[in-house]
Amino acid sequence: MLNVSGLHLWRGDRHVLRGVSFAATAGQCVLLTGKNGAGKTTLLRAIAGLLEPEEGEVSWRGTPARKSRDEFHADMAYLGHEPPLKGDLSGRENLRFSTGIRRPVTAAEIDAALARTGASAFADRSVRMLSAGQKRRVALAGVLLSGAVLWLLDEPTTNLDADGQQLVARLIEEQLGRAGIVVAAVHHSMNLAAGEVVPLELAA
Amino acid sequence: MKTGSLDVARLVIARDLRLAFRKPSQLLQPLMFFMIVATLFPLTLTPEMSRLRDAAPGVLWVGALLSSLLALEFLFREDAQDGTLEQFALSGQSLTWMLFAKTCVHWLLTGLPLALSAPVAAVGLGVPAEAMWSVVASVALGGFALSLIGAISAGLTLGARRGGVLLSLLTLPLAVPILVFGADATHRAITGGDIGPPMQLLGAIAVLGVTLAPLAASAAVRIGLE
């Protein structure tokens, strides 16, 4: 369903992505590895459509993602380095907005997602007051709520405790079980009990 | 099921209003700046009412323009920094529409309060009481057009590290027509003339802004997010 072919991308005069190609279908998890600066984040952002590749194409369900951008984005959830949350709003308010602009969402759904990611206890506190790990748990609840088929996760376990890292692995397994696709940039290999893992190493 | 456009706009507006009222100081700063600038002129220019009255349209409009520039910097910058603007762009909804909603909130929180406080500044400049409604109307309409044009510059300067000055340099030349017709409307109001023609021209600029500015702003924001 997700097809990335021959992506070339320059950042300034640096040739970051040199012809990256891979494909993923329902139930597959692509684990991106590579040294710092190998272009993991760049690749994820290029797939998401935040960066325009100089060459190559990302296609989703057989059509170029660039041509049907809104449909592609409706199917996709992207979680970058920094959890995209408003510091002055509570976690719950953040999710009500970020999910609400994608699809109609009920308070019960938000509660369930927050409980699943272990964020219920601090969901009503201003995000500014939360620790980095707590913010990430709220952001993961947002990914869960998006209902997206394709998850693009950039270092999803950053700042999380051992329990949280397990949680991310379980969430990815569940997503794969729902016939979803996950593309995740990771430093350490992840043990997934279910789903098919496609390793992809980016050379610096 | 996808959220409808009207609900998206409602959510954006509710979010931005809520955020603004959690940080009221940011709302008051441009307003205070405007009041102070308008008070400095009578102190430095002349105490003579008739001459102040001649200078009033210029003082009011340049003051309003500069203070709305102060607020313009915050239109997209904070959302870009915390990554929520990226979420807007990746939501599968029209970015143009969402930015238009944001710009309307921006006007509601800066342009409209500026217009409503203009009479206070205008009294000090010797503007007669019967001209006040026209002053408020012209500053409100001109401010709306200014917010729309400013949204383009705010989008374009997202990538710049210190975009404040650049933002002013981009916006001020584009704001000249608004300034000219706005000051003319205020001048006519003070001298008891017909404010219809300049107000219609301001309205035309605002309509042009509504149709084109959000499109240009969303294109600029997408570039700025790279």
ipTM: 0.88
Q: What percent of chain A is predicted at pLDDT more than 70?
A: 99
Q: Please give the residue of chain B at the shortest CA–CA distance from A97.
A: B11
pLDDT under 50: residue ranges of chain B: none
A193 CA to chain B: closest CA distance, Å? Answer: 30
First CA to last CA distance, chain A: 27
Shortest Cα–Cα distance, B52 to chain A (Å): 44
Spatial distance between the Cα atoms of B17 and A155, rounded to a whole number of angstroms:
33
A103 touches chain B (CB under 8 A): yes
CA-wise closest residue to A200 among A6, A79, A68, A23: A23
> What is residue B204's predicted lDDT score, i.e. its pLDDT?
93
Q: CB-based contact (8 Å) between A61 and chain B? A: no
CB-CB neighbours of B200 under 10 Å: 12
Q: Return the H-helix or E-strand segment holding A136.
A: helix A132-146
What is residue B39's predicted lDDT score, i.e. its pLDDT? 85
Judge: B83–A97 Cβ closer than 8 Å, yes or no. Answer: no
Please state the rounded mean pLDDT for residues A116-136.
91
Taking only the tens place, the pLDDT of each residue in A153-174 is: 998 888 888 888 889 888 998 8
Q: Which of A49, A71, A84 shows the shortest C-beta gap to B83?
A: A84
Contact B93 A70 (CB under 8 A): yes
Tell me which residue has tokens 């990611």.
A117
**Nearest-Cα residue of chain B relative to residue A80:** B83
Minimal Cβ distance to B2: which of A48, A82, A103:
A103
User: How many structural domains comprise chain B?
Assistant: 1
Inter-chain CB proximity A101 and B225 less than 8 Å: no
Does residue A3 register a pLDDT over 90? no
**Helices within B23-48 (DSSP H only):** 24-44
Instruction: Establish, for the pair of chains A and B, how many residue pairs have beta carbons separated by less than 8 Å.
Output: 80
Determine the pLDDT at residue A94.
Answer: 92
Q: With 80 as the cut, is the pLDDT of residue A65 above it?
A: yes
pLDDT-based confidence at A152, cuts 50/70/90?
Answer: very high
Rounded CA-CA distance B199/B217 in Å is 25
Contacts of A84 in chain B (CB under 8 A): 82-84, 86-87
Please give the pLDDT value at position A143.
Answer: 93
Question: Contact, A202 vs A34, CB < 8 A?
Answer: yes
Nearest-CA residue of chain B relative to A90?
B19
Å between A19 CA and nearest CA of chain B: 20
Judged against a pLDDT cut of 90, whether residue A136 lies above it is answered with: yes
Mutate to test the interface with B, among A102, A103, A106, A152 (most CBs of B within 10 A): A102
Closest CA to B159 of B224, B217, B222, B221: B224
Query: Which three-class secondary structure state does DSSP give residue B11?
Result: helix
Q: Report yes or no: A98 at the B interface, CB cutoff 8 Å.
A: yes
Tokens 């379980």, located at residue? A170
Q: Is A68 on the interface with B (CB under 8 A)?
A: no
Q: Smallest CA–CA separation between A12 and chain B, in Å?
A: 12
Nearest CA in chain A to B226: A51
Q: Which domain holds residue B67?
A: 5-224
Assign A204 a pLDDT band (cuts: 50, 70, 90). Answer: low
* Contact between chains at A104 and B7 (C-beta distance less than 8 A): yes
pLDDT value for A13:
86
**Which tokens hold the place of B226?**
């790279």
Helix (H), strand (E) at residue A63: strand A63-64
A34 touches chain B (CB under 8 A): no
Q: What pLDDT sits at residue A137? A: 93
What's the mean pLDDT when you consider all of chain B? 88
